Amino acid sequence: MNKYLDLSPEVAEALAGGKPVVALESTIISHGMPYPQNVETALLVEKTIRDGGAVPATIAIIGGRLKAGLTPAEIEYLGKKGRAVAKASRRDLPVLVARGDDGATTVTTTMIIAALAGIKVFATGGIGGVHRGAETTMDISADLEELAMTPVMVICAGAKSILDLGLTLEYLETKGVPVIGYGTEELPAFYTRRSGFKVDYRVDTPEELAAAFRAKMEMGLRGGMLVTNPIPEEYSMDPAVINAAIDEAVAECNARGIKGKDTTPFLLARIKDITGGDSLSANIQLVLSNARLAAATAAALRIRV
């Protein structure tokens, strides 16, 4: 095992016994939601995974240690500390570890640490992607590069709808990342079920997802797999409402000159305010939906590591 990595006893036992384990990110705790909803949601997501027959492994960096599996006290710590915790991408890991600092893991770093631990399935809200205007800013999320390199299945509600979804799909195609729609042929757009863009393949059961990922690994193909699971119909937001809120938030972000890794937290917070909290409720429900699918898929995969 990597000398910088700590597994919780529950996660270590599950992995040793070939039991299904699902990785979870921690940026959603420290940067994605306000306290105490962030902690309540994180614990509810873990319960949802346990109810689905799998073991949750919330991932973070605490005191310079890469953690796969957090205690409730550690989740509370991250939730209360909030944005004072560094938002950690691949480039940040060496410095945070060397300094003994804390870090909230993005999709990228959650994939890295999950792969180090031997965890193959990861549930999140939405991935990063190609930002609007990237043809001039070159603002492209490291999540896309990680999906091209790291052998973890990422189950999400699509790319965040604050992004350029068409260019995000093109980038993933170039990198050879399979984009699979769960029960849909259309890429979901995080808050809404439809985007107007087609995914590569439609799959309708967790068993099919597990079979596809198993085949990818057995062939020795590099990189991960992206599964896009639409937000449940009853929680899907009106596209006109959410798109207007996104446009307003993006305009304000540009006017303030906010760039880089501060962009997404700012936009999500502003969209929550503009929609009167409706976007936060939708965010919570889509994460829970992804957790249920991830638990079922991890159980179907049953890979001993």
Compute the distance between CA of residue 255 and CA of residue 236 in angstroms, rounded to an integer: 29
The catalytic residue among 87, 160, 261, 272 is 160
SS3 string of 266-303?
A: HHHHHHHHHCCCHHHHHHHHHHHHHHHHHHHHHHHHCC
Token pair of 74, please? 């550690």
Spatial CA neighbour of 130 closest among 266, 264, 282, 274: 264
The catalytic residue among 25, 46, 74, 146 is 25
Compute the distance between CA of residue 302 and CA of residue 300 in angstroms, rounded to an integer: 6
Q: Name residue 130's beta-bridge partners.
A: 140
Spatial CA neighbour of 187 closest among 137, 143, 231, 154: 231
What 8-state DSSP symbol labels residue 63?
T
Q: Is 73 exposed, middle or buried (0-12, 13-18, 19+ CB in 10 A)?
A: exposed
Q: Name residue 104's beta-bridge partners.
A: 60, 87
Assess contact for 43 and 14: CB atoms under 8 A: no
261 catalytic? Reply is no
Assess contact for 160 and 246: CB atoms under 8 A: no
SS3 257: coil
Verify cis geometry, omega within 30 degrees of 0, for the bond prior to 239. Answer: no
218 catalytic? Reply is no
Token pair of 163, please? 């992004």
Token pair of 146, please? 């990680």
Cite the active site residues: 25, 160
